[in-house]
C-alpha cells in the first residue's frame, strides 16, 4: 500500500517536476499565475463595487463590459502579436494592465464618478485578455514532447486554481482598508507577472513564423478554425463551457447574497471554493490526463455542468460550497484537455492568431452568459436558471463524443511519429510545434533489401529516418557505417546544398519516413536552440569523409545546384 501511495504521489507531482526542470517554462507558468490571480482579484473588487452601486444587473453589466471589448480586440491583437516575440508582448500588455488597475484604485474615492473606475477596469481587462492566447502559444514552443506540453497545461491548471484562491484572498486583504486596496493588490500581481515573463521566449522565437502583414495574418487566424473541423469543434465546446461560466459569475453573487445570506464575504468564499476545487482537479489532471486527452475533456465538461444543476435542485450552504468546488475540479480537466488539444491541432505559424480567436470566442461566450443570466433570473428564478444553464456543457460533450474519440486516435498516431523523430539527434532539441509540424509532413516508403535509397552524386531533396530495418552508408566504394531503426540520414545535402556525398543501400527490407528539404531545413535552422548545434553537427560529419571528385561533378566544378548529402554515422 505504501508503494502504491508513493507511486500515486509521483504521478501527481510528475507534471510539476517536469515543468520545474525548464527554467523558462517555469517562469512562464509563474507569470501566468500572477496574471490569473490579478484577473480574479480585480473581478472580485469590481464586482463588489458594481453590486453596491446597482445590484445584480450592474454586476452583469460590468462583466459584459470587461469581456465584450476583449472579445473584439483579442483576435486583432493576436494578428499583431505574431509580429514580435511572444514574451515581449506579454510584458507590455501586463504592464499596461498594472497601470490601469493602479489608476482605478486611485479614482475610487468620494466625489469621483464610479464610471471612471469601470473604464480603467475594462482597459485592464482588455490588456490582460491578450495574455491568455499569447501564453497559450508560448508554452508549446518551450516544450519538447507531448507529455511536457500536457504537463505544462496541467501545471497551468494548478496555478489557475491557485489564482482563484490567491487573487480574491489578496484582494479581500487589500480591501480591508477600502475596496481600492483590492485594485492595488490586483495591479501588484499583474506587475509581477510582467517581470517574470520578460525574456523567457528569446530562445523559442522563430523569425520564420513572423506574420508578413497584419491583415493577412488576421485572415489566416480567422480561417484556421473555419477550415479545421477539429478546431471548430474545440472552439464550440469551449464556448459552451464559458457561456456557463459567464452566467455563473453572476449567479455566484446572487447565491451568496440571497440563497446563502452571506453577503460580500460569501462571494469571496464561493470563489475560494471554486479555486480549491480547481487546484485539486489540476493535481488530478497531472496524474491522469496523459492519454485520451479528448475523452478527459469530455469528462470535465460533464462534471462542470452537473454540479450547477444540483445547486439549483439541492440548495443549502454546505451543498453550495461543495458543488462549487466540484465545478472548479471539473474545470481543470476541461481546460487542460481543450488547451492541449488546440495546441496540438493549430498550425505553429498561426498559433497565436488561432488562440486569439479562440479566446475571443470564449470572451463572447462569457459576455453572453453574463448578459442572459439576469434575464433568466427575472424570468424563471435562480434555482431554475441554475438547472437550465447547468445542462449546456454536459449536453455538448455528449453530442461530440464520437468526434472526440476520433481526435484522440489521431493524436495517438501523431505521438508515435513524434517519438520516432525524437530519436534522431539532430531533431531532438526542436520545440514541440516544430517537430510536430515535421511529423505531419512525413512520407512513409518501403525499400527492398539490396536496393539503394540513393546513390553518391544524386540530387538530394529529402531527409530520411529508419523505422525498421538496417542500411549501410557507402562512400567512394567503401562502407563507412551502418544505420538501424531510429537513425536518420540525408541532412548534409539539404543543409550544405551539395550532391549526395555517399550512397545508402538497404541491407534488409527498410521502412523509411522521409521529410522534404523545404520542411526540414527551416525546422532545424530556424531556432537559436538548434541552429548552432546543427552547424557543429554538419561540420563534424564533413570532417569525417571527403568524397572523391565524382561525387562533386568533377575537378574544378561548382557543387550541383540542389541539396545533396554526406550520410552520417548512427545518431541514436
Cell numbers describing residue 157: 491548471
Sheet holding 488-489, edge to edge: 443-447, 510-516, 462-468, 488-489
Domain boundary among 414, 446, 468: 414
The residue behind cell 476520433 is: 406
Are 268 and 170 within 8 A, CB to CB?
Answer: no
- 243 and 146 in one domain? yes
> What does each C-alpha distance from 119 to 46, 98, 100, 215, 293 come to in angstroms?
11, 14, 9, 28, 40
- How many Å apart are CA 219 and CA 11, to the nearest integer? 42
> Does residue 19 belong to any structural domain of this protein?
yes
Of 293, 41, 1, give the one whose Cα is nearest residue 157.
293
> Does residue 78 belong to any structural domain of this protein?
yes
- How many Å apart are CA 354 and CA 339, to the nearest integer? 11
Residue-level pLDDT at 417: 86
- 129 and 41 in one domain? yes
- 485 and 381 in one domain? no
- 432 and 403 in one domain? no
Are 392 and 82 within 8 A, CB to CB?
Answer: no
Cell numbers describing residue 88: 515581449
- How many Å apart are CA 422 and CA 110, to the nearest integer? 62
Domain boundary among 392, 414, 436: 414
> Does residue 388 belong to any structural domain of this protein?
yes
- 175 and 267 in one domain? yes
- How many Å apart are CA 83 and CA 35, to the nearest integer? 22
The residue behind cell 523505422 is: 467
Q: Find residue 515's DSSP bridge partners.
A: 463
Cell numbers describing residue 69: 471589448
- 455 and 383 in one domain? no
- How many Å apart are CA 359 and CA 338, to the nearest integer? 12
Note the pLDDT tens digit of each residue in 270-311. Answer: 777 877 787 787 777 766 656 788 888 888 888 888 888 888
> Does residue 264 belong to any structural domain of this protein?
yes
Eight-class DSSP state of 511: E
Flag residues of the chain having pLDDT under 50: 1-12, 207-214, 550-572
Cell numbers describing residue 257: 447574497
End-to-end distance of the chain based on CA atoms, in angstroms? Answer: 39
Reported residue count of the chain is 572
Are 497 and 449 within 8 A, CB to CB?
Answer: no
Residue-level pLDDT at 104: 83
Using DSSP, state whether 120 is helix, strand or coil: helix
- 284 and 181 in one domain? yes
Question: What is the span of the domain harbouring residue 35?
Answer: 2-198+215-414
On the CB side of 493, CA atoms within 13 Å amount to 31
Q: 571 — phi, psi (to 5°)? A: -110, 10
Residue-level pLDDT at 446: 92
Cell numbers describing residue 153: 497545461
Indicate which CATH number applies to the domain containing 485: 2.60.120.10
Domain boundary among 389, 414, 439: 414
- How many Å apart are CA 437 and CA 486, to the nearest integer? 18
- How many Å apart are CA 193 and CA 132, to the nearest integer? 12
> What does each C-alpha distance from 363 to 355, 368, 388, 503 come to in angstroms?
12, 9, 21, 57
- How many Å apart are CA 551 and CA 456, to the nearest integer? 6
486 phi-psi bin (left φ>0, alpha ψ -120 to 50, beta other): left
Of 293, 430, 353, 414, give the one whose Cα is nearest residue 89.
353
> Does residue 351 belong to any structural domain of this protein?
yes
CA angle 152, 32, 268 (to 5 degrees): 115
Helix axes 214-227 and 229-254, enclosed angle (nearest 10): 90
What does the buried/exposed string (b/e) look like for 135-165 if buried means 16 or more CB atoms within 10 Å of the residue's CB?
Answer: bbbbbbbbbbebbbbbbbbbbbbbbbbbbbb
- 500 and 443 in one domain? yes
- How many Å apart are CA 367 and CA 344, to the nearest integer? 27
- 189 and 303 in one domain? yes
- 489 and 386 in one domain? no
Residue-level pLDDT at 202: 60
> Does residue 387 belong to any structural domain of this protein?
yes
Eight-class DSSP state of 96: H
Domain count, the chain: 2
Give 505's contacts (C-beta < 8 A, 6+ positions apart).
450, 451, 452, 453, 471, 472, 474
Residue-level pLDDT at 14: 61
Of 249, 245, 104, 115, give the one whose Cα is nearest residue 171.
104
> Does residue 136 belong to any structural domain of this protein?
yes
Residue 327: Cβ within 10 Å count: 26
Residue-level pLDDT at 143: 77
- 366 and 234 in one domain? yes
Indicate which CATH number applies to the domain containing 229: 1.20.1250.20
- 432 and 386 in one domain? no
> Does residue 479 belong to any structural domain of this protein?
yes
Amino acid at each position: 500500500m505504501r508503494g502504491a501511495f508513493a507511486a500515486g504521489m509521483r504521478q501527481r507531482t510528475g507534471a510539476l517536476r517536469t515543468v520545474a526542470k525548464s527554467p523558462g517554462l517555469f517562469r512562464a507558468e509563474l507569470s501566468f499565475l500572477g496574471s490569473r490571480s490579478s484577473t480574479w482579484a480585480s473581478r472580485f473588487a469590481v464586482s463588489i463595487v458594481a453590486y453596491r452601486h446597482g445590484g445584480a444587473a450592474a454586476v452583469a453589466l460590468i462583466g459584459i463590459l470587461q469581456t465584450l471589448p476583449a472579445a473584439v480586440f483579442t483576435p486583432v491583437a493576436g494578428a499583431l502579436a505574431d509580429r514580435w516575440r511572444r514574451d515581449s508582448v506579454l510584458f507590455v500588455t501586463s504592464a499596461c494592465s498594472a497601470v490601469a488597475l493602479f489608476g482605478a484604485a486611485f479614482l475610487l474615492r468620494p466625489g469621483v464618478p464610479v464610471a471612471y473606475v469601470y473604464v480603467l477596469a475594462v482597459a485592464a481587462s482588455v490588456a490582460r485578455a491578450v495574455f491568455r492566447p499569447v501564453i497559450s502559444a508560448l508554452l508549446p514552443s518551450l516544450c519538447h514532447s507531448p507529455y511536457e506540453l500536457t504537463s505544462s497545461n496541467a501545471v497551468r491548471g494548478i496555478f489557475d486554481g491557485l489564482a482563484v484562491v490567491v487573487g480574491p484572498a489578496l484582494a479581500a486583504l487589500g480591501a480591508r482598508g477600502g475596496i481600492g486596496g483590492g485594485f492595488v493588490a490586483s495591479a501588484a500581481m499583474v506587475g509581477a507577472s510582467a517581470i517574470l515573463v520578460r525574456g523567457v521566449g528569446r530562445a523559442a522565437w522563430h523569425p520564420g513564423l513572423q506574420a508578413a502583414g497584419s491583415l493577412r495574418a488576421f485572415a489566416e487566424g480567422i480561417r484556421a478554425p473555419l477550415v479545421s473541423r477539429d478546431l471548430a469543434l474545440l472552439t464550440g465546446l469551449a464556448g459552451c463551457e464559458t457561456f456557463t461560466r459567464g452566467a455563473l459569475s453572476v449567479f455566484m453573487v446572487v447565491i451568496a447574497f440571497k440563497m446563502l445570506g452571506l453577503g460580500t464575504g460569501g462571494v469571496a468564499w464561493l470563489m475560494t471554493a471554486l479555486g480549491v476545487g480547481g487546484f485539486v482537479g489540476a493535481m488530478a489532471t497531472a496524474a491522469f490526463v496523459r492519454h485520451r486527452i479528448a475523452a478527459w475533456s469530455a469528462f470535465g465538461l460533464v462534471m462542470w455542468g452537473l454540479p450547477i444543476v444540483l445547486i439549483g435542485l439541492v440548495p443549502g450552504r454546505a451543498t453550495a460550497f461543495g458543488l462549487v468546488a466540484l465545478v472548479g475540479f471539473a474545470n481543470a480537466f476541461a481546460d487542460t484537455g481543450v488547451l492541449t488539444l488546440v495546441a496540438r491541432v493549430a498550425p505553429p505559424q498561426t498559433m497565436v492568431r488561432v488562440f486569439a480567436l479562440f479566446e475571443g470566442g470564449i470572451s463572447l461566450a462569457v459576455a453572453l452568459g453574463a448578459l442572459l443570466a439576469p434575464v433568466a433570473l427575472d424570468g424563471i428564478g435562480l434555482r431554475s436558471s441554475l438547472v437550465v444553464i447547468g445542462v449546456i456543457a454536459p449536453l455538448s460533450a455528449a453530442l461530440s463524443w464520437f468526434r472526440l474519440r476520433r481526435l484522440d486516435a489521431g493524436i495517438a498516431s501523431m505521438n508515435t511519429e513524434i517519438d520516432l523523430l525524437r530519436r534522431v539527434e539532430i531533431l531532438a532539441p526542436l520545440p514541440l510545434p516544430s517537430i510536430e509540424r515535421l511529423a505531419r509532413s512525413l512520407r512513409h516508403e518501403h525499400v527492398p533489401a539490396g536496393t539503394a535509397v540513393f546513390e553518391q552524386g544524386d540530387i538530394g531533396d529529402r531527409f530520411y529516418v529508419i523505422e525498421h530495418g538496417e542500411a549501410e552508408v557507402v562512400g567512394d566504394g567503401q562502407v563507412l557505417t551502418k544505420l538501424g531503426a531510429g537513425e536518420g540520414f540525408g541532412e548534409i545535402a539539404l543543409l550544405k546544398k551539395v550532391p549526395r556525398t555517399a550512397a545508402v543501400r538497404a541491407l534488409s527490407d527498410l521502412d523509411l519516413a522521409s521529410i522534404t528539404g523545404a520542411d526540414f531545413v527551416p525546422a532545424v535552422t530556424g531556432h537559436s536552440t538548434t541552429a548552432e548545434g546543427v552547424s557543429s553537427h554538419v561540420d563534424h560529419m564533413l570532417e569525417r569523409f571527403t568524397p572523391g571528385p565524382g561525387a562533386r561533378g568533377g575537378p574544378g566544378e561548382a557543387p550541383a545546384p540542389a541539396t545533396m548529402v554526406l550520410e552520417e554515422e548512427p545518431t541514436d
